Structure 1
Amino acid sequence: MEDMHVRTKVAAVLLATTMAVTLAACGDNASENADNAQTVAPAVAAESPATPASPAGVNVPQVAGIAIAQVGSTTAVLNADGRSVTLHVQPGAMDTPPPKTVSLPVSGLVDLIAADGAFLAVGPDGLIEIAPDGAFTIRRDSIDSPLSVAVKGDQTLVGTAKGTLLVYPADPHASPRTIGGFVRVDRILVAPDTADGVDGQVSVLDRAQSAILPVDIETGEHKAALRAGNGATNAVVDRFGRIMATGTRDDEIYAYYGAPIVMRLRRPVSPSPYALAYDEKRDLLWVSSTGVNEAVAYDLSRGDGKERARIATVGQVSAMTVDPANGGLLLVSARGDGLQFVPATATTP
């Protein structure tokens, strides 16, 4: 049994290495690689069935949302209308104030993250920073088909459906640099300073290629890349610099690490995995599956992804996050089923 396990691990490493060589690209020929890339139709989450049981934890009224982020005690949900954000203070707690919806003077917002004590959203009209109290400032800039946003140091990164990665400097009056060579830039993963050996590593999840593609944002050079199944949709990076992705079409999750990256984990999961969240304190990866309205926690501390908890969720979960202060899991529904808060005590492995 142990010999079989070793052979399987070796085969996986060899397969990953071969795929890395196949997908490798450099800055000089990045555009050519994108033009010749083998693509698939981007996967989408399965339609959720009617929830058979009450979702775990507390369900707070919330219109359909497409992204979620946490700053301090405030949870922000980017609403599906693309022009408003709902702010929840300690959702699920007793005596909490009612949610506050902030209407924004822009439209088409597509992504929202936490950055430097505020929330940062992106849309065709530029970047907008939203404070936990609802005050906001806009960095106006015409962006063609934005999809994603991330922050690396004092630089803001924006990914587009045109296959470009825009690098905005700290100076709000300076123009962004453009890195091409992708088909789509659906998610941008930035390894934190705590990631030993890969700190600051920037990688792109390209749904059209179903691949993880590291890139040097200073030189524009594309590094060796890896396929992520046949329909990867979302990804997160943890404090160690590991990249975890959902294989929505194949009902799998994947984990990658290193420079060059190597696949470290490939595991079957419940139908149509989509949203991801990482619990840093407990080293758990939460995976939400719209096919069955469930979220499952996998223990990554030993690298084998052992299941530790399983909960019922609201329907059509589009995004999740973990409150770093209390370990609570927050999930938002894309069809208006609400904002779900599950305390850490309810999911203790």
Structure 2
Amino acid sequence: MRRLSAASRFAIPLAGALALSACSSGGQADTDSLQVVANPVAAEPAVSPAPAVSPAGQVLAMPAVSAIATDTRSHTLVVAVKQPPSVRVYDLDALGETKATVPLPAPAESLTASEGQAIASVPGKGVLARISLPGGQLETEPVTGQPAEGVSSGADTLVAVRDRKAVEVLSGGKVAKTITGQLYSADGVVDTGAGVVVLDRLRTAVFSVDVAAGTMGEGLRAGEGAANAVADSYGRVLVTDARAGALLAFSTNPLILRQRYPVPGGAYGLAYDHQRNLAWVTLTGRNEVVGFDVRGGEPVEKYRFPTVRQPDSVGVDDRSGRVLVGSAAGEGTQVIQP
């Protein structure tokens, strides 16, 4: 794999390095130091070719997958399938049998899971679905607008609301705060423990969020097509750049781009193994998943496996290190033991 020089690895275009203090509401390129095109479009996963080799590991048959997550406390795998819209719950020690199937009012776009609960965003119906694990009991919570992602943050839930360009803080089932400013689209939210960051796919940027103050902070360009974001074990936010083919690492407080590493082949899905400090990146243009050790000054490739077709989503079991890859083309969910 080609590696960038030390200088280029940590450098980004000046337009991307500037933090924003203000921008136009109409998103005009001449007044916005982050936007570089007049009509921004969110990055999409590269279309996968027909697989050239068989997928590694085991493949669980299921319809097209839209999102995957795992929960350490309940030791469960949760998979959102598009049709019929639902979330399937599996025991990670008995993946051959579905433990529960939870119907949803429309397909889920994202899944997060922690502390015995999964949160599925259903933007098509303006709903956040909370699923208790491992039993699968469902509670739905209406959200004004299109909830793109919801994550637990202590006793609260942070929700990225795409069309309202906002991060909402839900506390006790009610909206405690609505945080806006500078966003074109709120597509993901990450709580690193050291800070909160929101992902804006339209601007291909990330912004810091001061939840306590209820304000949006500085923003930085995140490559040419920011796609997905997760927290690592070092208080950083990792982001895949689907257009340029790269893995980015941002520190928080303050928000600084620390690493930009080339990952050609359609980098898209992203998951993090906190026990082994591995970032798993799916390459939809190659039907592959790659594991990078991110403990050092730059990512180091440790694993590379062939996957099911259109591997848009990925999760990881921290306990065993197994990697779960979901096919958006309906070719199942893959289980790989590195």
TM over 0.5, yes or no? yes
Whole-Å Cα distance in 1 between the matches of residues 209 and 126 of structure 2?
26
Q: Which amino acid aligns with 1:155?
A: D
Q: Secondary structure at the match of 2:151?
A: strand
1:70-103 Cα shifts (integer Å, max 9, x gaps): 1233211011247311122226x6xx55224524
Of 74, 78, 94, the residue aligned with 2:80 is 78
Tell me the CA shift for residue 310 of structure 1.
0.8
**In structure 1, how many angstroms separate the alpha carbons of the residues matched to 2:129 and 2:241?**
31
Deviation, structure 1 residue 122: 2.5
Partner secondary structure for residue 288 of structure 1: strand
Question: Given the superposition, is the C-alpha separation of residues 325 and 286 from structure 1 closer, same or farther in structure 2, using an over 3 Å criterion?
Answer: same
1:140 and 2:141 aligned: yes
SS of residue matched to 1:317: coil
* Structure 2 Cα separation of the partners of residues 103 and 282 of structure 1: 31
| CA-CA distance at 1:131 after TM superposition | 2.3
Name the counterpart of 1:275.
Answer: 269
d(CA) in 2 for partners of 1:233, 1:6: 25
1:226 aligns with 2:220: yes
Return the alpha-carbon distance in structure 1 between the equivalents of residues 143 and 257 of structure 2.
37
Q: Deviations over 1:191-232 (max 9, x none)?
A: 13xxxxxx2x10011000101111112223222221011111
Alpha-carbon distance in 2 for matches of 1:175, 1:74: 29
Q: Please give the alpha-carbon distance, in whole angstroms, between the structure 2 residues aligned to 1:75 and 1:321.
A: 9
Structure-1 separation of matches of 2:151 and 2:326: 20
Q: Are the counterparts in 2 of residues 102 and 134 from structure 1 also a CA contact under 8 Å?
A: no
Correspondence for 2:301: 307
Say whether the 8 Å CA contact 2:288–2:311 is kept in structure 1.
no
Q: 1:33 to 1:220 in 2, by over 3 A?
A: farther
Cα distance in structure 2, aligned partners of 1:157 and 1:274: 23
2:24 is the counterpart of 1:24: no
Equivalent-residue separation in structure 2 for 1:6 and 1:76 (angstroms): 39
Paired position in structure 1 for 2:42: 42
More helix by share: 1
Name 2:91's counterpart in structure 1.
89
Name the CA shift for 1:319/1:153 in 2 (closer, same or farther; >3 Å): same
Q: Which residue of 1 aligns with 2:278?
A: 284
Letter of the structure 1 residue corresponding to residue 304 of structure 2:
R
CA contact (8 A) 1:107 1:125 kept: no
SS of aligned partner of 1:185: coil
The answer to whether the 8 Å contact 1:284/1:300 transfers is yes
- How much has 1:107 moved relative to structure 2? 2.7
Describe the SS at the equivalent of 2:106.
Answer: coil
Q: 1:76 to 1:23 in 2, by over 3 A?
A: same
Query: What is the distance in 1 between the residues matched to 2:143 and 2:295?
Result: 43
Alpha-carbon offset, residue 19 of structure 1: 3.6
Equivalent position SS for 1:183: coil
What corresponds to 1:237 in structure 2? 231
The residue number in structure 2 matching 1:195 is: none
**Displacement of 1:329 after TM fit?**
0.7
Aligned length: 322
State the Cα deviation string for residues 162-209 of structure 1 (Å, max 9, x = none): 21111101x22x3342112211111111013xxxxxx2x100110001
Larger relative strand fraction: 2
Aligned equivalent of 2:162: 161
Q: 1:18 to 1:260 in 2, by over 3 A?
A: farther
Provide structure 2 residue ranges, at least 5 long, that are not aligned to the other structure: none
1:156 partner SS = strand
SS at match of 1:298: strand
Percent identical: 30
Distance in 2 between the 1:5 and 1:43 partners?
A: 26
Cross-structure match for 2:127: 126
> 2:301 is paired with a residue of what secondary structure?
strand
Q: 1:22-65: per-residue Cα shift (whole Å, max 9, x none)?
A: 3323xxx5785967652621110111111111111111112111
CA offsets 1:249-292 (integer angstroms, 9 cap, x no match): 11111111142122111121131110011122221111110000
Among 312, 317, 320, the alignment partner of 1:323 is 317
Match of 1:250 among 244, 253, 257: 244
TM-score (norm: length of structure 2): 0.87
SS of the aligned residue for 2:97 comes to coil
**SS, match of residue 63 in structure 1:** coil
Q: RMSD over aligned Cα, in angstroms?
A: 2.4
